[in-house]
Amino acid sequence: MSFDHLGLMPELLRAVADQGYTEPTAVQNEAIPLVLTGRDLLAGAQTGTGKTAAFVLPILQRLHATRPTAARPLVAPGRAAAGRSIRVLVLVPTRELALQVEESVRTYGARRPVRSTPIYGGVGFDPQVRALRAGPAIVVATPGRLLDHAGQGTIDLGGVEVLVLDEADRMLDMGFIRDIRRILALLPARRQNLLFSATFSDEIRRLADGLLDRPAVVQVTPRNTTAELVRQVVHPVDRERKRELLSHLVRSGRIDQALVFTRTKHGANRLAEQLARDGIVAAAIHGNKSQGQRVRALADFKAGRTAILVATEVAARGLDIEALPHVVNYELSMVPEDYVHRIGRTGRAGMDGDAVSLVCVDEAKLLRDIETLLGRRIPVEVVPGFEPDRSIRPEPIRLRTGDGRAIGGGRPGARPGGRAGAGRPSAGRSAPVHGGFVPARRPGIGNPRPASARPGIGNPRPAAPGQLTPVRPPLPRLGDRGQAPAVLPGERLARRADR
């Protein structure tokens, strides 16, 4: 099936052909005709499915086919855009995604350009004010900085005809819900709304219920479902030997270039430094890096000048890196769904990919949760010389802030870093997480500390030390997955960096 039947204008079809796309992806096939009709849309699609083109292409067409609905005078004429209205607002969780989506607008609009600009935090305000004054029809923005512009009167959202929430689940995870609601209040009531989300939590459904008017629903699986194109393997390893093992995999040629995931910014920095000391060209990319540093790191990686790009979940989300041969989970994510997102970074465009997870004894429960989600076991391969020491007991996973303060793993019930997690149903993820080798909680007692941390008080010992070998306990039932998704500390910081 080609793009021709979707109802797109010749300039857009040519731009798509320029990119070498021959067939629409599933989400493009379904969403483009629906968006062209002006209907609201709820789309379940994650990065890698071609979702960006699925909304950018029909939006560009609608901009050309219709005249602006807002012939209203603009507020604060001295400061806000003089004369032309913003017609399309795309909200995204991260600056990287803002840049990439806006680049897609330029790419797909190359044959018939539309003015657009990205708006995101962490960079100067004035250049954005100038870009807004130039009168973009499309603004791709992170919520915090957008609200700053709204507060300063440097943006007028009164003429928005189409609103897109891209990666809405991630925006909610990052705590943007209040900002989103404030932005919604600034938009005209009559508009088309498109909501894209990889997952559908209750919170997303509530947002969708309030936002969308009788939406069409499109649900697609990623182009490369994990089972298809991505070879997955778990290398069991001691917690203190992960870096050594990663260096070994690179130096032995097993891994040539890889995107490596850590849980925290601090961990990303430290790993990149340690790899550099091992003689491996590595860089870290995360929310505390300046925009310039991130762009440079990504460019070096894409050009093959950097072997290892260490990234946090948030920073890596939406990064458009083609033909990535390897993804390494240096640390498993606290949220099983993130595993699927991470490994979706490889195996794209029909190419083989390789997802390697370095798993220590503390992460056994996280691994089981991932396998439950996948519905299958991931093959385990012990790397000779890195056999796990079975006498090592699991410890709670500590999440650290950028300055290295531990914010998890403290006394039971302690709030991470003294910050109240209250008010957010998901705050529990910051609490210590037990490796899951033993029944960590005695039912009814609610003790979140691992048995191993409480010697001598009658807790059971780990049933079988070193269970990361192929002999595994049975998969937990789906309902056993425990922790509700929450905000990782890195995400909280990234959210602030949005301003």
Measured between alpha carbons, how far is 401 from 399 in angstroms, rounded to an integer? 7
Is position 50 an interface residue for ligand AMP (rule: CB under 6 A)? yes
- From 46-54, 197-205, 284-292, 415-423, give the range in contact with ligand AMP by CB under 6 A: 46-54
| Nearest to ligand AMP of 164, 234 (CB atom) | 164
In angstroms, the CA 55 to CA 60 distance is 9
Which residues are 329's β-sheet partners?
Answer: 261, 357
Q: Which is nearer to ligand AMP, 53 or 378 (CB)?
A: 53
Give 336's Cβ-side CA count (13 Å radius).
Answer: 18
**Exactly one of 47, 116, 226, 452 binds ligand AMP (CB under 6 A); which one?**
47
Query: How far, CA to CA in Å, does 214 sit from each of 29, 39, 184, 307, 338?
Result: 20, 8, 18, 48, 30
Closest approach of Cβ 29 to ligand AMP, in Å? Answer: 9
For residues 111 and 301, what is the distance between their CA atoms, to the nearest angstrom? 29
Instruction: Determine contact, residues 160/84, Cβ cutoff 8 Å.
Output: no
Using CB under 6 A as the binding rule, whether residue 52 contacts ligand AMP is answered as yes
Query: Residue 471, Cβ neighbours under 10 Å: how many?
Result: 9
For ligand AMP, give the closer residue by CB, 28 or 257: 28
User: Would you say 314 and 47 are in contact if contact means Cβ atoms under 8 Å apart?
Assistant: no
DSSP H helical ranges for 230-277: 242-251, 265-277
Minimum Å gap between C-beta 50 and ligand AMP is 3
Q: How far, in Å, CA of 351 to CA of 288, rounded?
A: 32
Q: Collapse the DSSP code of 312 into the 3-class scheme (helix H, G, I; strand E, B; otherwise coil) and give the result.
A: strand
Half-sphere exposure of 4 (CA within 13 A, CB side): 2
Q: How far is the CB of 28 from ligand AMP (least distance, A)?
A: 6
Nearer to ligand AMP, 324 or 358 (CB): 324
In this chain, which of 49, 116, 197, 346 binds ligand AMP, going by CB under 6 A? 49
Q: 44, 48, 159, 336: which one contacts ligand AMP (CB under 6 A)?
A: 48
CB of 287 to ligand AMP, least distance (A): 20
Q: What one-character DSSP code corresponds to residue 260?
A: E
Among positions 29, 34, 40, 51, the unique one binding ligand AMP when judged by CB under 6 A: 51
Site string for ligand AMP, 314-333 (x = CB under 6 A): ------x-x-----------
- We find the least distance from the C-beta atom of residue 27 to ligand AMP, in angstroms, to be 8
The one among 43, 53, 90, 165 contacting ligand AMP by CB under 6 A: 53
**x-marked contacts with ligand AMP along 9-28 as a string, rule CB under 6 A:** ------------x-xxx--x
Asked if 327 and 353 count as a contact pair (C-beta separation under 8 A), the reply is yes
Given the rule CB under 6 A, which residues bind ligand AMP? 21, 23-25, 28, 47-53, 320, 322
